[in-house]
Amino acid sequence: MRRPAFYSRSPRTQPPAADEAAERADAPASPEAATVGAGSVPPGTPVKKPGWQPGRRSFALLIVLSAALVTGAVLWVPRPGARVLTQKDIDAAVLRTLQTNTLPSPAAKAADIIRPSVVRVVSYGEEKNTPEAKIQKRGRNMAKGKPPEAPNDGAGPGEVERGVGTGVVIVDKGVILTNLHVVAGADKIKVTFFDGLEAPATITGVQPENDLAVLQAQKIPDDLIPATMRSTADLRPGDQVAAVGFPFGIGPSVSAGVVSGLKRSFRSPEGKQELGNLIQFDAAANPGNSGGPLINMDGEVLGIVTAILNPTQQRTFIGIGFAVPIENAASAAGSPPF
């Protein structure tokens, strides 16, 4: 088998001493011993050395390198008449790309980020006889294509589905934020994660003054992703937001809008509680959105959706929703403020 060639890292030309030694080795022992072909050479006759003379190899290499450099220089010279791109050409190319390629909306990208952290929250227990409970029940049944007064699904013996809301995972160990009114008085709570996993949950903390509850799921997905929370210190009216949740149990659903105002107050229709320092927004929210995240266009949680303003008993969205700022919500879970 032939051995691969080995290329030395030493210089290609031999040092002068080596050249002289090579000359002495090539020279004949005496002028008389020098021959040309088969005949002898008379003494004193100049002898032409066979083979390559010292220095010719370096000279040839220098010629090859010089030719390569000249050729490269010629190739790098811009061709006469070549068009140079201008900023106008670049702008036109970008505009053409935007016109021919459909880009996802900011709300769609934000929803993709937060969706793995959003959970469906269902509370079970004795059926409430309040107007809100009846409206939620009718809405859930109609969304499922059932008669408005059909019995609830998923409840155990002697149980009824009292309410459906939304929650958002803030710690990857299964810590979930939601509204207190979604789970208050429940005998059993069940959460459904993004991948479809259903798990029982327990209440580990409450903050009644902000209508907040903290849940701990008993089982969690292997790749649970918690939401990223964002301070509302620089939030301004007109900033784009989106509400993600399960209105009437459908979802996760996404609605987009803007921040309508800050530091708002809201009193529940029953007049039992007044909430303050709320974010007002106009992204559509309905019963079932309660406890879900209000997010910015980076998919970061700004607040927890908690109420909608309704001058009538229909409990449908008229364009004014409220969310508890995430600073207050995170403190309910023991997280330090921003």
pLDDT digits (tens, 9 = 90+) for 275-302: 999 999 999 999 899 999 999 999 999 9
Question: Of the spans 31-45, 133-147, 165-179, 314-328, which averages the highest pLDDT?
Answer: 165-179
- Give 90-99 pLDDT, tens digit per residue: 888 888 887 8
Question: How many distinct structural domains can be found in the chain?
Answer: 2
User: What is the C-alpha end-to-end distance of the chain, expressed in Å?
Assistant: 72
Distance CA 304, CA 329 (A): 7
171 plus 139 within the same structural domain: yes
**Catalytic annotation present for 253:** no
207 plus 256 within the same structural domain: no
* Residue ranges making up the domain that contains 200: 115-217
Mean model confidence pLDDT for the chain:
78
- Among 31-45, 90-104, 294-308, the minimum mean pLDDT is found in 31-45
255 plus 188 within the same structural domain: no
Which one is catalytic: 123, 253, 260, 290?
Answer: 290
- Give 216-239 pLDDT, tens digit per residue: 999 999 999 999 999 999 999 999
122 plus 188 within the same structural domain: yes
Question: Of the spans 6-15, 75-84, 90-99, which averages the highest pLDDT?
Answer: 90-99
**Catalytic annotation present for 211:** yes
146 plus 193 within the same structural domain: yes
For range 252-275, the mean pLDDT: 87
Which one is catalytic: 211, 255, 260, 282?
Answer: 211
> What is the model's pLDDT at position 97?
83
Domain annotation covers residue 103: no
**Catalytic annotation present for 290:** yes
Domain annotation covers residue 22: no
Which one is catalytic: 117, 123, 181, 253?
Answer: 181
204 plus 258 within the same structural domain: no
Asked which of 159, 183, 217 is the last residue of a domain, the reply is: 217
CATH number of the domain bearing residue 210: 2.40.10.10
